[in-house]
Amino acid sequence: MKKHLKMSEEGIVSGSTGDTEEQQQANGQQQKEGGRKYESHVLFDMKGRSRREWKYVRLVAKEELRTKKDLKSSDASKAYCTFCTTYITYTKGNGNSVYRHMEKYHKIEMDQADDVKPSKKQKPLDGHFSNIVKEQNLRLASRDDRLLGDALLVKWKSESLRPFRIVEDSGFQKFCVFFNQLRSRYELPSRTKHRKQMMKLAECVMNGVTETINMEMTYYSLAFDIWSCRVMQSFMAVTLHYLTEDFEVKYFVIEVTPM
């Protein structure tokens, strides 16, 4: 739920019940000699936030939009750090300044607040695979080895009824590149272990889709499609379609179930 905190010459006009002194300071309270003066502004939470930095950062509404009820990230003129009570540059769709500020000055505080130990940042899988060949500078296999590899590939595809275009699949290519750079033996997982790994990945993807939908979607349309596989088993698919604020078309397959 968004919290709109408004300041005036009289002090806090509206806000959440039980605001602490720190929260009042985060709303622009400034005390000077000879009297009390306040910077009038409205703070609100980032909608659909996914990164932990936004737990400790608020957005500042533009001057002309302070009275707007349903504030969005596009209505913000800057960001506000609740740790050091300073302003941070922010534009819609680009929170790099916020992330750099929090990582540079408040990483330990965030770790303590989240009750997690600082961990070494792990390199993304896509970035790792894309640089394997360049880093290893691998020598091309001999002609005999290439012929043997081609023969094994053709045999596997024909026996398992795999399509010809599988050799152009980016995931399959990355899997092969992974083997090329290994200097040790790799054992394929068992069917049971592989299934568990697949279910874990499916859960991560589902959480990511849910987070994206909650952050971007206001209105939507559902579509239903019925189709049959090669053995004439019928299935029904449910897909979700919507437009983002930037008029980008998004769609997700919500469910595929047998008929």
pLDDT for 90-142, tens place per residue?
887 778 888 888 888 888 888 777 765 444 444 455 554 445 444 456 677 78
The answer on pLDDT for 243 being more than 60 is yes
Instruction: Please state the rounded mean pLDDT for residues 207-219.
Output: 89
pLDDT tens for 21-62 read 444 444 444 443 333 333 557 888 887 777 888 888 888 888
Instruction: Please state the rounded mean pLDDT for residues 222-230.
Output: 90
DSSP string, 22-43: HHHHHTTEEEETTEEEE---EE
What is the strand order of the sheet 234-243 is part of? 221-228, 234-243, 249-258
Predicted local confidence at residue 177, as pLDDT: 82
Q: How many CA atoms lie within 13 A of 9 on its CB side?
A: 1
Interior CA angle at 195 toward 190 and 198, to 5°?
A: 125
Give the count of beta carbons closer than 10 Å to the beta carbon of residue 159: 8
The answer on pLDDT for 4 being more than 60 is no
- Proportion of the chain in helix, strand, coil states, percent, rounded to 5: 40, 25, 35
* 30 vs 208: which has the higher pLDDT: 208
Task: Give CA–CA dist 250/256, Å, rounded.
Answer: 18
Q: How sure is the predictor about 19, in pLDDT bands with cuts at 50, 70 and 90?
A: very low
The answer on pLDDT for 228 being more than 70 is yes
Q: Which residues make Cβ contacts (< 8 Å) with residue 34, sequence separation at least 6?
A: none
Interior CA angle at 137 toward 134 and 141, to 5°?
A: 125
Tokens of 63: 């001057």
Give the count of beta carbons closer than 10 Å to the beta carbon of residue 59: 27
